[in-house]
């Protein structure tokens, strides 16, 4: 397959699962349609916000299948692949590519600490298992992966490792990396970074949960940055940041599922033992959505 160029706003999709463990295809399909109508540039099922870590392989397969069917090739679908073992992660990536995804978001789960040569071997094996572009994903606070600058640079000899999505919240380290690798690796911001700051430093877009909830305004922010209209972008970013703030304050998946429920997408509660938000948290979230004109 011919690789597409990934850039712009890629919402991290939630994974709606009912109490019997079934993926709720209707609401997920409707969310996908809505996001595409709002102009998002791509879709990312099975990121952190997608609760990938709480799903079985069959559930993961089904989520991707529903997203592919609903998006009908209109935007790239970049699906998350995550495991502790190399063999299983490579197998998942291969199956996802056969299903038709346009790219792989590669996450490394950890239990024991893994030395750098093991981390390198993991990501390289996932990339070599497919021919589509691969996005390296690093999120030290959850997955524990030590994706150091040295490891990232050593991975650049693998031709289809083309993107990085960094959720470390340390924008300075991101600039250090950008200065080292130049255009060879394209950077997506995560919701822990300020997307505008990453775009200003040379990023190509962002993959994040909040974009599910404010897709239109996210696309508007992206366009301002592309046109280098920095002052307008700054003013919009400062307002939109409130939604990133509540994602950080409350747990990612519970928060975005709560937002979507409020917006009329009955995606259900997070997967147990994750707990749904309640009371004051819901009220704060609703207040933020209202202040951003993001209520239906």
Q: What is the contact surface with a copy of itself in residues (CB under 8 A)? A: 21, 48, 53-56, 84-88, 108-109, 111-115, 117-119, 121-122, 142-143, 169-172, 175-176, 178-179, 192-194, 196-197, 200-202, 228, 230-231, 234, 238, 241-242, 244-245, 248, 251-253, 271-275
d(CA 96, CA 92): 6
Q: How far is the CB of 76 from a copy of itself (least distance, A)?
A: 25
Q: How far is the CB of 188 from a copy of itself (least distance, A)?
A: 16
Smaller CB separation from a copy of itself, 32 or 198: 198
Smaller CB separation from a copy of itself, 118 or 216: 118
CA atoms within 13 A on the CB side of 238: 5
Which residues, 6+ apart, have CB-to-CB distance to 71 below 8 Å? 32, 36, 43, 77
Smaller CB separation from a copy of itself, 70 or 129: 129
With H, G, I as helix, E, B as strand and everything else as coil, classify residue 157: coil
The conformation of residue 111, written as its DSSP 8-state character, comes to S
Q: Is the Cα torsion angle 180, 186, 192, 197 positive or negative in sign? A: positive
Q: How far is the CB of 108 from a copy of itself (least distance, A)?
A: 8
Q: Is the Cα torsion angle 221, 225, 228, 234 positive or negative in sign? A: positive
Q: How far is the CB of 234 from a copy of itself (least distance, A)?
A: 6
Q: How far is the CB of 292 from a copy of itself (least distance, A)?
A: 13
Q: Which residues of 73-107 are buried (b: 16+ CB within 10 A; e: fewer)?
A: eebbbbbbbbbeebeebbbbbebbbeebbbbbbbb
Smaller CB separation from a copy of itself, 74 or 227: 227
Smaller CB separation from a copy of itself, 159 or 272: 272
């Amino acid at each position: 397959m011919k690789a597409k160029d990934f850039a712009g706003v890629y919402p991290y999709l939630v994974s709606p699962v009912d109490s019997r463990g079934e993926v709720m295809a209707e609401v997920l399909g409707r969310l996908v349609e809505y996001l595409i109508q709002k102009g998002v540039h791509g879709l990312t099922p099975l990121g952190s916000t997608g609760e990938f870590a709480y799903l079985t392989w069959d559930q993961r397969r089904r989520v991707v299948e529903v997203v592919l069917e609903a998006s009908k090739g209109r935007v790239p679908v970049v699906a998350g692949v995550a495991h502790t073992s190399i063999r299983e992660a490579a197998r998942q990536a291969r199956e996802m590519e056969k299903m038709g995804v346009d790219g792989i978001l590669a996450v490394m789960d950890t239990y024991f600490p893994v030395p750098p040569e093991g981390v390198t071997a993991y990501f390289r094996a996932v990339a070599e298992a497919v021919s589509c572009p691969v996005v390296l994903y690093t999120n030290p606070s959850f997955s524990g992966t030590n994706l150091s600058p040295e490891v990232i640079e050593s991975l650049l000899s693998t031709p289809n490792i083309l993107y990085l999505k960094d959720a470390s919240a340390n924008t300075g380290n991101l600039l250090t990396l950008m200065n080292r690798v130049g255009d060879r690796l394209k950077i997506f911001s995560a919701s822990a970074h300020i997307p505008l700051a990453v775009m200003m430093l040379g990023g190509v877009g962002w993959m994040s949960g909040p974009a599910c909830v404010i897709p239109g305004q996210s696309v508007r922010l992206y366009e301002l940055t592309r046109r280098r209209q920095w002052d307008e972008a700054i003013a919009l970013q400062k307002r939109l940041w409130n939604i990133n703030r509540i994602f950080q304050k409350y747990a990612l998946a519970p928060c975005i599922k709560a937002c979507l429920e409020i917006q009329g997408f009955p995606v259900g509660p997070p997967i147990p033992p994750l707990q749904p938000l309640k009371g004051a948290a819901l009220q704060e979230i609703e207040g933020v959505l209202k202040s951003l004109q993001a209520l239906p």
